[in-house]
Amino acid sequence: MAIEIHWIRDDQSLAEHCRNWHELPFVAVDTEFMRVDTFYPRAGLIQIGDGQRAFLIDPLLIGNWQPLAELLEDNGVVKVLHACSEDLEVLLRLTGKLPQPLFDTQLAAGYLNLGFSMGYSRLVQDVLGIELPKGETRSDWLQRPLSDTQVSYAAEDAVHLAELFSQLRPRLSDDKYAWVLEDGAELVAQLRREVEPESLYRDVKLAWKLAPQQLAVLRELCAWREREARNRDVPRNRILKEHSLWPMAKSQPNNLSALARIDEMHPRTIRQDGEFLVQLIKRAASLPPEQWPPALPEPLPIEAAGVLKQLRAIGQAEGERLGIAPELMLRKKTLEALLKSGYPNGPYQLPDSLRGWRRERMGQALLDSLAGAGETR
């Protein structure tokens, strides 16, 4: 059956369609973008599905995104997306807004125990019995005109995404539907939480092995790299390779020759930013001790693996009771944060990342389990 496709190529048309979409209970939203040589995704196409038709918005021709921004924030219209973290970045970059309420079909599949982290094609095949053609993921979505294959692929995504919602929603209990929306709201909240460039050093592999003075250098290097990547709109590794950060902070090269000997140091980086980096390292290294970051905690010891397994089992058992994919229950990072709050002897504190229904249903059981583990050690 041929899909009815409507192109939106000017501001007036977008505003008119958005007025109509405000009257609907839900819209499916998808994006096609390029992100090969840039920090930020570049939108090539925005697709909207209303349950019957596909609307293809050409972002290269739209100047006023306010009508779509208002639709995204309309609480009366559910926005349906699939595995949407990058789509959210595209929408935020274009409109300055993020979708709410957000129903992610990949999450819904997990709540129905159909599978965890299911790809779109497989979910469409499992739920709708439709085999999609191989994707156009390597296409150039910024080229014009788009090929017939690209247009067909994009339109099918929008139509089938709406159909997925119509099939999955009735299968979810009211509780599970609320939890899917809660997790969707958390995805949006995570993107809204602006990551401070000065905090990124904590995520560098083996950063915990560095002394506070070396951490001060690592902090400044990571913050500079992040800001430059955003300002120049290029990938972080184009500014400075990930693997170069730790050895730079450790050895603190004080001239270009020493800098050139750092692991994975690109000659282009030496040419463009070498002198600046040497000065940045010198400045950071000479900061007074009161401006050094505190030492980072060591990773959990091997002996903690058994306790982590015990905590994970609480989530798995609750997942079995509720018929939810076990991977959706308690994330490893959350359990590690809980364990680090008091290991080995407690007391323990539930981390902020354990929120909502998970905290209500499993928080106390996790603390009780740790109290019991403490008694048996």
Catalytic residue numbers?
30, 32, 87, 153, 157
Other C-beta atoms lying within 10 Å of the C-beta of residue 289: 8
Listing DSSP states for 322-348 in one string gives HT--GGGTS-HHHHHHHHHTTTTT---
For residue 281 the two structure tokens come to 């390292």
Rounded to the nearest 5 degrees, what angle is found at the Cα of 146, between the Cα atoms of 18 and 73? 20
Q: What is the DSSP letter of 55?
A: E
Q: How many CA atoms lie within 13 A of 266 on its CB side?
A: 12
Residues 6 or more apart whose Cβ sits within 8 Å of residue 4: 52, 53, 54
- Which has the closest alpha carbon to 59: 72, 48, 46? 46
Listing DSSP states for 21-48 in one string gives HTTSSEEEEEEEEE-SS-SS-EEEEEEE
